[in-house]
């Protein structure tokens, strides 16, 4: 006796495979785009492509390419990757698509650290000695980490996401006010502070690139290992708890990854806006995937975005140079306005 024929599931397999392959194709496309931009970045500068053609014969041209342009281009990718990773973690942790890496007060803390270091250079020999040892990079990193710790103290831990968010906003405003006060009392540091606030990749060398690359790899592995927590939080805290996830310690680990990635990038390049905010949005606009893929794709997208912005900053008004932070703010703000208008429409 013939019964009803059951539907065959094999027909849906190619569709599922095509869907699961989209993140991989996007990752390969971003790697290819980053490689192209890296090659092009070697030829952008005051001397143009001539330095690249002559670097085998002219030691000065070789020094320009390998000691200035190459580490700057590679450092732009590393800093953008850190900010893109931090943006993906922040948006997943706070369940807010407008969350950015600077949400816990790290940017304001880094700015205050740099302002105090610059002011300390002219205060006393004791302060000068410690500032020289620590350096502006170290002062920015320490300031960013201390600001995040202050946010955690005010929020009384990481148990309540809303309280943590509000504490980060308060810390950012208060530390920003202290930075302005330090700048007003020592106006000779205004120009140096302006360069830090606008962001720049011009001072990134091979050592800075190696530091950002190493810390970025560690943060990426940690974020990938904690991606299941971000997936659970995306469904709501009640659902995440029902899955048996210890949210307290895991949320603290995510905050640590966010602070380390953001503090490292800010310490090396200053405040570069919108890269960490826009990179996860661009990834989601192309492919819908879990956070295990999102943290990797957002890192690659952030690196490509900052490399492109760095090339434009060097080439638009050559031989003059635009602050890369201003360019990313204009481009990122324009993209978010377009995205908002598109969704409203």
Rounded to 5 degrees, φ, ψ at 246 are -75, 90
Convert the pLDDT of each residue in 50-84 to its tens digit: 555 556 566 776 777 788 888 999 999 999 999 99
Environment class of 156 (CB within 10 Å of its CB; exposed 0-12, middle 13-18, buried 19+): exposed
Q: Where are the domains of the chain?
A: 57-340
pTM over 0.75: yes
CATH fourth-level superfamily of 57-340:
ABC transporter involved in vitamin B12 uptake, BtuC (1.10.3470.10)
Mean pLDDT of 20-45: 87
Q: How many CB atoms lie within 10 A of CB 20?
A: 11
> Which position has the higher pLDDT, 33 or 340?
33
Convert the pLDDT of each residue in 311-342 to its tens digit: 888 878 767 788 888 888 888 777 778 777 77
Which of 60-69's residues contact partners 24+ apart within 8 Å by CB, and which partners?
67/205, 69/41, 69/42, 69/43, 69/44, 69/45
Residue 166 has pLDDT above 70, yes or no: yes
SS3 118: helix
Quickly state the pLDDT bin for 15 (edges 50, 70, 90): very low
Query: What's the chain's average pLDDT?
Result: 80
Residue 189 has pLDDT above 50, yes or no: yes
Cα separations in angstroms, 22 against 91, 209, 297: 22, 30, 11
Residue 188 has pLDDT above 60, yes or no: yes
Could you tell me if 270 and 200 are in contact, meaning their C-beta atoms sit under 8 angstroms apart?
Answer: yes
Residue 129 has pLDDT above 60, yes or no: no
């Amino acid at each position: 006796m013939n019964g009803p024929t059951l539907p065959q599931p094999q027909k849906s397999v190619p569709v599922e495979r095509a869907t699961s392959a989209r993140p991989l194709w996007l990752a390969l496309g971003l790697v290819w785009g980053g490689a192209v931009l890296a090659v092009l970045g070697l030829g952008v500068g005051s001397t143009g492509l001539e330095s690249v053609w002559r670097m085998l014969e002219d030691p000065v041209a070789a020094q320009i390419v390998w000691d200035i342009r190459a580490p700057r281009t590679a450092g732009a990718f590393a800093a953008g990757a850190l900010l893109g990773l931090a943006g993906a973690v922040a948006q997943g942790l706070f369940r807010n698509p407008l969350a950015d890496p600077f949400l816990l007060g790290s940017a304001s803390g880094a700015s205050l650290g740099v302002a105090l270091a610059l002011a300390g250079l002219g205060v006393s020999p004791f302060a000068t000695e410690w500032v020289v040892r620590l350096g502006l990079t170290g002062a920015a990193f320490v300031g960013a980490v201390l600001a995040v710790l202050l946010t955690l103290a005010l929020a009384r831990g990481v148990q309540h996401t809303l309280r943590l968010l509000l504490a980060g906003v308060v810390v950012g405003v208060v530390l920003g006010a202290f930075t302005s006060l330090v700048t007003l009392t020592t106006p000779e540091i205004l120009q140096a502070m302006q360069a830090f606030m606008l962001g720049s990749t011009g001072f990134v060398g091979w050592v800075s690139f190696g530091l950002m690359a190493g810390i970025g790899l560690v943060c990426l592995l940690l974020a990938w290992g904690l991606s299941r927590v971000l997936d659970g939080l995306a469904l709501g805290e009640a659902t995440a708890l029902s899955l048996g996830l210890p949210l307290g310690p895991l949320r603290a680990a995510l905050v640590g990854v966010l602070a380390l990635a953001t503090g490292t990038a800010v310490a090396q390049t200053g405040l570069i806006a919108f890269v960490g905010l826009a990179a996860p949005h661009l990834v989601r606009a192309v492919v819908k995937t879990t956070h295990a893929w999102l943290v990797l794709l957002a890192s690659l997208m952030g690196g490509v975005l900052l490399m492109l912005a760095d090339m434009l900053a060097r080439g638009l008004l050559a031989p003059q140079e635009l602050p890369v932070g201003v360019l990313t703010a204009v481009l990122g703000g324009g993209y978010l306005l377009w995205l908002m208008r598109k969704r409203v429409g």
